[in-house]
Amino acid sequence: MADKTAKQVPGIYRHPIGDAMVTVINDGFLDIPFEILRGVEQEEMHACMRGAFWTKPPRLTVNAFVIETAGRTILVDAGGGSSTIYSMGLLPENLKAAGFAPEDFDTVLLSHIHPDHSNGLLDPDGKAMFPRAELVIHKDDVAFWSDPALRDGRVPAATPYLDAAQALLTTYRDHIRLIDGGEVLSGITQLPLPGHTPGHSGYRLDSAGETLVIWGDTVHVPEIQIPHPGVTSEFDINEALAAENRRRIFETVATERLLVAGMHLHLPAFAHVVKSNGSYRLVPENWAVAI
């Protein structure tokens, strides 16, 4: 019998977008209970997972992305790091397998400050994992997570993450660039999608006539939230706004037939969203051998 501790091949996948190259870097996974999701009946959520031949609690794939464009090497999110939970922390070894070293990165684009996206920016000793990178974050996320008043527990969805957020902001304080939507770098635009956190954002890459939308945490559980975009979670700071912006980005990418990538879409993590029976359906990209 095969060794149950054995791993798959490295979790990486390359996809050209015009003149740019985008590489998915898998950081592991995170299992969540159905009970933290709301918006439809529990039985409907279970039915969605059974329809995907998954009978366990939802499993969230955790991804980061590397964009190589115009002489720059850019990381979009950084996974959870080894300190978050046992099933994450694969980013360093998978970056190495893809041919990248931490010193290669001049920019990190952060979708938002949550442990499974930002803890990987720190090494096990709490130092900057990407020492020469500028960290780009929406200004509203930094303002929110920097607010000392949150320590009184007034926002329960934020309380468990305050120490990790403070460690990140302190370590990178001299390398942070705050933005409020618009062009971040040539060909890359920040797309504010607040709700999950106040500054939650996606990023749009346009290159040589092709487009990719990396939508951050727009979707946590694709099997459920694609057909039911109103489903929210206890991770959301503002659930109603998160659902509203999920529907908005779904409508945009479906209408414009834009390729999307997500931090919690299963590998290879690229897909299209199409309208279906009054809602939406995800069409994952097939694994392509040739780049």
Please indicate, yes or no, if residue 3 is contained in any of the structural domains: no
* Peptide bond before residue 222 is cis, with ω within 30 degrees of 0: no
pTM: 0.96
| Tens-place pLDDT, residues 231-286 | 999 999 999 999 999 999 999 999 999 999 999 999 999 999 999 999 999 999 99
Please indicate, yes or no, if residue 1 is contained in any of the structural domains: no
pLDDT at residue 6, as a whole number: 73
Residues spanned by the domain of 121: 12-284
Please indicate, yes or no, if residue 212 is contained in any of the structural domains: yes
Token pair belonging to 282: 């995800």
Please indicate, yes or no, if residue 137 is contained in any of the structural domains: yes
Please indicate, yes or no, if residue 20 is contained in any of the structural domains: yes
| Tens-place pLDDT, residues 80-135 | 987 656 689 999 999 999 999 999 999 999 999 999 999 999 999 999 999 999 99
More confident residue, 282 or 290: 282
> CB–CB of 138/192 below 8 Å?
yes
**DSSP 8-state symbol, 236:** -
> CB–CB of 38/232 below 8 Å?
yes
* Helix, strand, or coil (residue 184): strand
- Provide the mean pLDDT of the chain: 95
> Does residue 268 come out as left (phi exceeding 0), alpha (psi in the -120 to 50 range) or beta?
alpha
Number of domains comprising the chain = 1
Element (H or E) spanning 135, and its range? strand 134-138
CATH number at residue 107: 3.60.15.10
Please indicate, yes or no, if residue 46 is contained in any of the structural domains: yes
Q: Where does the pLDDT of residue 5 fall: very low under 50, low under 70, confident under 90, or very high at 90 and above? A: low
Residue 275's beta-bridge partner residues?
A: 280
Please indicate, yes or no, if residue 290 is contained in any of the structural domains: no
Please indicate, yes or no, if residue 289 is contained in any of the structural domains: no
Tokens 């791993």 identify what position?
Answer: 7
